[in-house]
Homo-oligomer: A and B are copies of this chain.
Amino acid sequence: MDLETLKSLAVKAEAKIVLLVLDGLGGLPREPGGSTALEAARTQNLDALAAQGVTGLVEPVGPGITPGSGPGHLALFGYDPLTYRIGRGVLEALGIDLELTPRDVAARGNFCTLDGAGRITDRRAGRLSTERCVELSGLLDTIQVEGVEVIVRPVKEHRFVVLFRGEGLSDQLTESDPQRVGEAPLKVEAKIPEAERAAGLINGFIEKARTLLTEKHPANMILLRGLARHPNLPTFQELYQLRAAAIAVYPMYRGLGKLAGMEALETGASVREEFEVLREHWQKYDFFYVHVKGTDTAGEDGNFPAKVAVIEEVDRGLPTLLALRPDVLVVTGDHSTPTVLQAHSWHPVPVLLSARWCRPDGVQEFSERGCLQGGLGRLRGKEILPLALAHALHLVKFGA
């Protein structure tokens, strides 16, 4: 269902919806015949919710496709991740909690080293110290370019972010980074005529950076990649008349929530603290996205017991959340991160939806194997939000 149609069906409802995302939730058995982390974890509260509610398995993007965090979350927020693509520059900006507006083109920057002939000898400027990166980013931030506001912020080591803020900037641009040493940095070029102006402004910025950095060897030049506009998503407020909040510890996830029009709430780092923040703000919002990072971190580290422990921590914290009596609670992940792969994967992600109007499916356990029998069946990531809205009686009939 396209967003325009969905929007036309959305009505106000007195209902609270919670989307609890355990990042990288899905997994694989540690050894043949073994359990996944979710199966191994003692999760009496999640199992009780699965028993009362309805479950299924989610393909965030599609069969065989391993989602990055951006597409995985966008899908859970109801946006088709193949239609709404978030560029690298934007994700990098979100990752340092940089406020993005719909007028911005963002880029990932590297400090690099040029030789006397203008050829790149090191694409990372000897992996600059973060202190030096902060200092030189401050220098670049002073650059003035006629017709556009330029904002430069350090990330880490040789990496920084640039925002070009102005009206009507296209991001249909090539990168200045040739991704090879021994070559000169490239001019940013317009892929479509409408992007000529942006290309000109950005090349102007790059030349000023070159001049400013002349004496700053080894960081005597910059390379820009992943030039991307803010995706200008229609917000939860516009689409569904929902006041939405994001409760997430890491800037990237707070930023992804903000792209959907959510307000990012301040929170401590533990699951308990996140649930406390939820409780404190319960009256002010209709929709809460709560992000738990630890499951993914444990998956990426290949740490099976740690992944089990985070899932159990969430389960122990759940009574705080359930005491608020949400009308709809969805628990799922933005992708799988099996500890045996130590990486995001393409495997479908367990989902449970608990609400008064669920059709029960006989599943008694929130697990990969349990959800295989679930009443939601196999569904795409973007289909979860319409289901949550429906169970909150937020959607009217389609057609008469």
Residues of A with Cβ closer than 8 Å to B?
1-2, 5, 9, 28-29, 32-33, 36, 52, 57, 61-72, 81-82, 85-86, 88, 91, 338, 340-341, 343-348, 357, 359-362, 368-369, 372-373, 375-379, 383, 385-391, 395-400
Choose among B64, B369, B397 the residue that contacts A67 (Cβ–Cβ < 8 A).
B397
CA distance A358 to B267 in the complex (A): 37
- Chain B residues near A357 (CB, 8 Å)? 28, 338, 340-341, 345
CA distance A360 to B39 in the complex (A): 13
**Nearest-CB residue, chain B, relative to A390:** B64
CA distance A62 to B360 in the complex (A): 19
- Chain B residues near A81 (CB, 8 Å)? 398-399
User: Would B377 and A369 count as touching, CB distance under 8 A?
Assistant: no
Choose among B88, B360, B387, B389 the residue that contacts A29 (Cβ–Cβ < 8 A).
B360
Output the residue of A388, A395, A399 with the most chain B CB within 10 A: A399
User: Would A377 and B91 count as touching, CB distance under 8 A?
Assistant: no
CA distance A182 to B376 in the complex (A): 47
Choose among B61, B88, B400 the residue that contacts A88 (Cβ–Cβ < 8 A).
B400
Choose among B52, B70, B383 the residue that contacts A32 (Cβ–Cβ < 8 A).
B52
- Chain B residues near A68 (CB, 8 Å)? 397-400
Output the residue of A5, A62, A362 with the most chain B CB within 10 A: A62
Dominant SS at the A interface?
A: loop
**6 more CB-based (< 8 A) A-B contacts, given A65-B398, A361-B369, A377-B378:** A63-B379, A66-B395, A81-B398, A345-B390, A348-B377, A377-B377
Output the residue of A1, A81, A362 with the most chain B CB within 10 A: A1
- Chain B residues near A62 (CB, 8 Å)? 1, 383, 386
Contact A398 B1, CB 8 Å, known A359-B28, A378-B378: no
Give 5 CB contacts A-B under 8 Å. A1-B62, A64-B385, A69-B400, A71-B398, A72-B399
Contact A61 B1, CB 8 Å, known A346-B395, A368-B359: yes
CA distance A216 to B63 in the complex (A): 57
CA distance A149 to B399 in the complex (A): 27
User: Would B373 and A372 count as touching, CB distance under 8 A?
Assistant: yes
- Minimum C-beta distance from A223 to chain B (A): 17
- Chain B residues near A70 (CB, 8 Å)? 399-400
CA distance A341 to B372 in the complex (A): 27
CA distance A57 to B88 in the complex (A): 36
User: Would B399 and A346 count as touching, CB distance under 8 A?
Assistant: no
- Chain B residues near A386 (CB, 8 Å)? 62-65
Output the residue of A9, A357, A362, A391 with the most chain B CB within 10 A: A357
